Structure formats: structure tokens, C-alpha cells
Structure 1
Amino acid sequence: MARLLLEAGAVQVSHDRPFVLAAGWASPVYVDCRRLLGMPHLRAGAIALALDYLRQRFGAAPPFDAVAGGETAGIPWASWIADRLGLPLLYVRKRPLGIGRHAQVEGGAPEGSRVLLVDDLATDAASKVAFAQGLRTAGMRLSDALVLFHNRAFPGWDARLEHLGLSLHALASWDDVLRPEAGETLLSPADRDVIERFLRDPAGWSADHGGRRAPMTPPR
């Protein structure tokens, strides 16, 4: 997965102006998984890896009744995975739209269905809190989420997931991106140096460059 992200140009490194991520953290590197969407061969490779992972982790018939895509970048990946598994598709918003139990979830699955949440990436897992609450309010059972990339750099994600009772499965993380076999010819020495220096103290790097210093609220 790391190799596919690098081939797609999804790992973007800035040597001057930091990226400010959706979660409010400042970072010299941004992983844009959406780059894969426009490249059919890389997209197909990512879907194949996701399906292989699910089968290795859960068995030949993964124990889910439906697949839910997180708004918005998780929806296409959830659609392809649901199609390949022959399962119903849902999508879940970050916030309710209107009122009622299903105000945050679109698509059809019976109440009590075991759902796999799919998103493109995880940073500090704040959006996963919103998605989990929406799906559970709609009567779905949720214990597992799958992402293409997990940015484990910033604090708060592990406590959030533990509190949610949610297992997060990632096809790649920074350890994979920095392995020589993944990016030997695709990641320049200068870019690698920027990423490695950032990963020594991500929260400190963010604070020094105008981003958040710590999670804004205690994990819920």
C-alpha cells in the first residue's frame, strides 16, 4: 500500500510552508489518498490489498453484513469493497442532516447489522468518533474500521479508539512508507529527512509551526 501511495504522488512533502490537516495539526507532509482515485491500476491494486487484508484477518468470508463509507473520501473505497464482497453499502456523514435515527446514515441495512467502516485515512481518529456514533445511533453494530493509511503521529487516536471499542485496521503507516523497499526510488533523501525529523516529535513540530499542541478535547 505504501508503494502505491508513493507511485500516485500521494505522499506530499513541503520544505517551507506546513500543511494544516483537517484535524488542526500542522505537518510538513500530507498523504492525499484521493490521488489513487484517478489512477485505475493503482486504485485496483489498493482494492485488492484491502480485500486480501480482510480475508487474512477475518477469513474467507469476512463477518460483516454491510460496508459503510465515511464522508466523503471513504465512500468510493467502501463502494468498491462492498461491490466485491456482495454486501449492502451505507455512507455515514460527519454530522446529522435533519433529525431522526437515520439522519446521519444513508443506504439500507437491517437494524443490528454488523458494519465495516471504511475511510481513506486516520489522523487522530476524531472523525471516526462521529462516524461510529452515527452508525450506532442508526442501529448498526460497529467494531472494526479499515483505512488505507494511518497517520499514527499525533496524540489522542489510541485513547479515542479504545473508548469507542473500535479496532482500526490500516493498510499502511509511516513505518511502511519509510521502508527502503517501498520508497527507495520514489522518496528523495531530502523528503525522507523531513519526514523522519517530523516524526521524532509531531505534536511539538505542529505547535512550532502554527498548528495544534494537543488534542482539543479529551478523547470521548
Structure 2
Amino acid sequence: MPSPASASAARFGRPTARILLDIKAVNFRPAEPYKLTSGWMSPVYIDCRKVISFTEERRRIVAMAVEKLGEAMGWPAVDMVAGGETAGIPYAAWIAEAVSLPMLYVRKKPKGFGRDAQIEGDLADGRRVLLVEDLATDGASKLTFVNALRTAGAAVGDAFVVFFYGVFAGAEADLAKEGVRLHYLATWQDVLAEAEAGGDFPAETIAGVREFLADPVGWSAARGGRAA
């Protein structure tokens, strides 16, 4: 019998990875690493924003998200869906529509004029809110949004992303310490497995990514990125 992790990869991870590869949202560049917003240097970058331009592909991703979240937490446990500025907003809108729930969006900081709002929409105290973003590296930005929602009176215990790097230690544990469960469809292990199976990248590129995945912190530090 397959393990829960392998079963999830087969149902959600590998299909999501294939979609991202097919629409060219996956970028492998070991020789010219990317600097992520979290400060980590990475030879790989996922552009989940690209999904907004592909109608059928986004429908499939949203359907998988709704199914996985329904199994993991149950939709009756959610009152509203909140998208994190900016890439999380379309995903939150699609998911909220699919499950017929109200939506919010959360800014990284108050906008600084008018109502000086950080949260847009109609949020009442005690509402159970699911936070949605496109991807996660170390989870820090998720806590920024979670704290803003909680300060405004929401109850937030779950966050969802389409793609989770899944290689930087402590991301899920740090969120768990704050009472937040992270849900996701795919990780780099899914993308790498699918890319190898489909021959999407040359062997030397795959080898460079494997080197990064074996020691992501050391790989980042050696190239001028975060070291811890």
C-alpha cells in the first residue's frame, strides 16, 4: 500500500507539476541562480502567476485544491477565503467561487491612505478564514498575512499554496507553532520527478537542481544568499 505522501503526490503533486511544466512556469537555472524574496538563493523558480493566463489548467488546479482542502480540513470549517497580496488574490477568488464562500484579500501592509486598510472585504469577528497564496518558501510571508487577519478578528488555522518549496527546514514547523497548518499541491520533489520522467530539461540541469536539493541552505550560502 502506498504511503500517504506518495498517494498525495500521485493524486495532486505530479499532476500539478505537469501543468506547471507544460505552461513553462518552471524555471531551472543552476548556473544563474535566482534570489527569492525570502533571501534564499535558488537554481529553481516557479512562476505560479503564469497560471492566470491558462483557463483549463487553472480550472484543474483549483479543482485539485478544493478536493485536497476538503479532505484535509473540511469546507464546513471555513467561513471565508482570503488571498495574500498579490499573487494569492486570483487563487483565492477562484477557490472562493468554486466552494461558494465570501472572499477577502490581505495587503502586506496598510495602504497608507483613505481607510488605511490592510484587509479588503467585509470581515466580521470570529470568522474562520483560509489564507491562500501561490507558493511558499520558508513561510514567513504567510505569518504576516495570518497576523493581519487575526488582528482584524479572524480565526486563521489553515493556509494553502499551490506550490511549496519543501526544502528549507522549519517552514511547516514555524507555521505550526503559530497554530497554522500549511496545505499544498506540489513540491520541488514532484516537479523534479515529473521533469525527469518527461525529459523536460537536460540531464546536467537536473543534476544541478539535485545538488541544490541535497543541501539548499549550503547551496544558498555559497552563492551569497541566506545561510540560516
TM-score by length of 1: 0.89
The equivalent position to 2:58 in structure 1, one of 39, 43, 56, is: 43
Report how far residue 55 of structure 1 moved.
2.2
Retained in 2: the 8 A contact 1:67–1:88?
yes
Give the partner amino acid of 1:167: R
> 1:20 corresponds to which residue?
35
The equivalent position to 1:85 in structure 2, one of 88, 93, 99, is: 99
Retained in 2: the 8 A contact 1:2–1:182?
no
> 1:33 corresponds to which residue?
48
The equivalent position to 1:57 in structure 2, one of 35, 56, 72, is: 72
Identify if the C-alpha distance between structure 1 residues 177 and 85 changes in structure 2 by more than 3 Å, giving closer, same or farther: same
> 2:168 corresponds to which residue?
154
The secondary structure found in structure 2 opposite 1:118 is: strand
Quote the Cα distance in structure 2 between the aligned partners of 1:102 and 1:171.
34
TM-score by length of 2: 0.86
1:179 aligns with 2:193: yes
The secondary structure found in structure 1 opposite 2:161 is: strand
Retained in 2: the 8 A contact 1:89–1:107?
yes
Identify if the C-alpha distance between structure 1 residues 85 and 3 changes in structure 2 by more than 3 Å, giving closer, same or farther: same
> 2:11 corresponds to which residue?
none
Report how far residue 182 of structure 1 moved.
7.7
> 1:75 corresponds to which residue?
89
> 2:123 corresponds to which residue?
109
Quote the Cα distance in structure 2 between the aligned partners of 1:36 and 1:182.
22
Report how far residue 180 of structure 1 moved.
4.5
> 2:19 corresponds to which residue?
4
Give the partner amino acid of 1:193: A
Give the partner amino acid of 1:55: G
> 1:211 corresponds to which residue?
225
Give the partner amino acid of 1:69: G
Runs of 4+ in 1 over 4 A off after TM superposition: 180-183
